[in-house]
Amino acid sequence: MLKNIRLLFCLLLTSIAFSQSIQSTVDSTQIKIGSQFNLTIKANVSQKDKVVFPEGQFFGQLEILESYPVDSIKNNDKLELIKKYGLTQFDSGQYIIPPLQVIINNKTVRTDSFAIVVNPVVVDTLKQQMYDIKSIITVEKPTDYFWLYVLLGLIAIIGIGILAYYFIKKKQIKKNEEDEILFASPIEKALSQLQNLEGKELWQKGETKAYYSELTDITRYYLEEAVEIHAMESTSNELFQTLKSTIKKRKIKLSQDILEKFKKVMSNADLVKFAKSKPLDFEIENDKKMVDSFLISLDKAIPRTDEEKENLFTEELKRKRNRSQKLKRIFIPLSLVLFLVILGGVFIGISKGTDYIRENWLGHNAKSLLNEEWVSSEYGDPAIIISTPKVLKRVSDERIQTNLPAHVKATAKFTYGSVLDNFSITLNTTAYKDTTTVDLSRVVEYDLKNMESFGAKNITVKEEDYEDPKGLTGKKAFGSFTVTNPIDKENQQMNYELYVFSQPGGVQELFLIYKNDDEYAKQIMERVITSVELRKTAEK
C-alpha cells in the first residue's frame, strides 16, 4: 500500500513539473477588426529535448497572419524556446483561442485557452460631410503601347531577315570568287592558276621544287581538258610524244619552235624535281613566260566549233548556280522571318489570350459569336437591357452633349461593329426633363434619313407597329440598302432593322444592320431583339 502511494506521488510531481514547462500568453485580449495581436508560447526544456510547436492557418476562428521563427535562450543546461504568432479576425465578436498542442519528445502538452474580443470600427455618418452622387464622367483610355511593341518587333524581324539575306549573299559572292576557276574555260583556269602561283612567291622563298611541280601540274591539267590527252599520268617524254601526235591528228597549227621550247621547260622541271637542279632567277622567269606563251598559242590554235566557242555548257552551269543561289538567299531569310512571326504570334496568344487576337487581329465571324457566351447589360437612361455577343461601347461626343435641346436632359450612344462589318449594333437613349410625348414615327423618319450620312444608298423602307410576346411595344422599320466598300470599291447589300421604344421621360432607339447573305448574322439580330427589356422610369 505504501509503495503504491509513493508511485502515485512521484507521477503527480512529474506531471506538475512537466506541465509547468509550457507557458502561453497574449499581448492583448481586445482588438479592432483586422488588427494584429500576438500569441507567445514558451517551452523550458533541456538541450536534448525535441519540441514541435503547433502550425496551421487558423487557431480556432482566429487567422494566423504570421508565424515567427523560434527564438531560444540558453540557461546553463536548460533551454527556453520562444514561439510567437501574429493573429487577427475580420469580423467583430468574441472568439476563443483553444488549447494548442505542443509536442515534447513525442508527448503532448496543451497550452492555455484565451478569450479575445474583436470590436467593430464605429463610423458616425451624421458627423461626416455627405455629397451627392456624381454623374458619370468620361475618362481617357490609357495609352496602349502594345501595338508599338508589335510594330517594333516586326521591324526587328524584318531587319533580321534583311541581315540574313545580305550575309548569305556575301558568303555566296565569296564562294563564287573561289569557285570561279571551276566554271572558267580551260585556258582561263590555267592562266588564273598561273597568276595565283606567282602570288605565292614560292621560288623567291627557296621552294623551287614546289614551284616547278605546280607549274607543270597546271600545264598538264590544261592539256587534259583542252586537248583531251592523259597528261597527269605520263612522263615528260611520253607527254611530249602524245602531244605531238595529237597536234598532228587534230590538225592543230602550232609551230615547232613553240613545241621545242615547251619540251625544254618540261626538262628543266624534271631536273629541278629529280636532280635537285637550281636554275637561276631569270631562267625561272623565262620558263614561266614560256609556259604562258605555249598555253595561249596552243589554245588559239585548237580548232573549235561555234558551240564550243560560246562555251554553252559552262554558261549553263553558271546560270543554274546563280538561280539556285538566288532562291536560297530569298527562301532562307523569308523562312526565318515567317518562323519569328509565328513564334511572336504564339507568344502573344499565350500572354494576351485568343480573345485578344480575335478582337484585334482576326476579328469575330458571326457564327463564332453566335455560339459564344453572350453578355446582358443595362444601357443608358432611361435604361434598356439587351443581350449581345460583346459589350456595346459608349461613344462620347462632347459637341452633342453641350448642344442639347432645352427639354432634353441627356443622351447616350452605344455601338458594336461598323456598317461594313457582317453586322453592327447601335443603341441610342434620350432622357427628357419632363414627360415629353414622343412621336415615334418622326423618330424613325429622322433615323432613316441619318442613314445616308454613313454612305447608305438605294434604301428601301417598310414601317409597322411593333409588339413582342412580352408586351413590349414600339415602332419598327426594316428594309435594305447598299454601301460601297472603300477598299475594293464594291457595293455590299445590307439589311437593317430599326426599333424605337418610348416611355414617360425617355426614348430608346435600337439599330441592327447585317449583311444580306449572312444567315448567322441574321440569327444574331433575332436573338438580340428578343432579349430587349425596358427599365421603367417609375422604377428608377
As a dihedral over the C-alpha atoms of residue 432, residue 438, residue 444, residue 447, rounded to 10 degrees, the angle is -30
CATH topology agreement for domains 21-119 and 366-539: no
d(CA 157, CA 339): 10
CATH class of the domain whose range is 366-539 = alpha beta
Give all strands of the β-sheet with 393-395 in edge-to-edge order: 393-395, 408-416, 423-432, 506-515, 491-503, 473-484, 462-467
d(CA 242, CA 509): 105
pLDDT, tens digit, 9 for 90 and up, residues 128-172: 566 655 555 656 666 667 778 778 888 988 989 898 888 888 887
DSSP label at residue 387 = E
pLDDT of residue 10: 47
For 124, phi then psi, to 5°, come to: -95, 100
pLDDT, tens digit, 9 for 90 and up, residues 300-311: 888 766 555 555
Helices (H), 353-502: 354-357, 366-371, 398-401, 440-450
Residues 6+ apart with CB under 8 A from 225: 186, 189
pLDDT, tens digit, 9 for 90 and up, residues 315-327: 556 667 777 888 8
For the chain, domain boundaries: 21-119, 186-310, 366-539
For 26, phi then psi, to 5°, come to: -120, 150
CA 447 to chain centre: 44
pLDDT of residue 314: 58
For 433, phi then psi, to 5°, come to: -80, -15
Band the pLDDT of 53: cuts 50, 70, 90: very high
Nearest to 461 by CA among 474, 473, 444, 439: 444
CATH superfamily of 21-119: Immunoglobulins (2.60.40.10)
pLDDT at 126 over 70: no
Asked if 509 and 427 touch (Cβ cutoff 8 Å), the reply is yes
- Average pLDDT on 14-19 reads 42
- Please report where in the chains the cell 533551454 appears, as a residue: 79
- Average pLDDT on 516-523 reads 82
pLDDT at 26 over 90: yes
The pTM score is 0.40
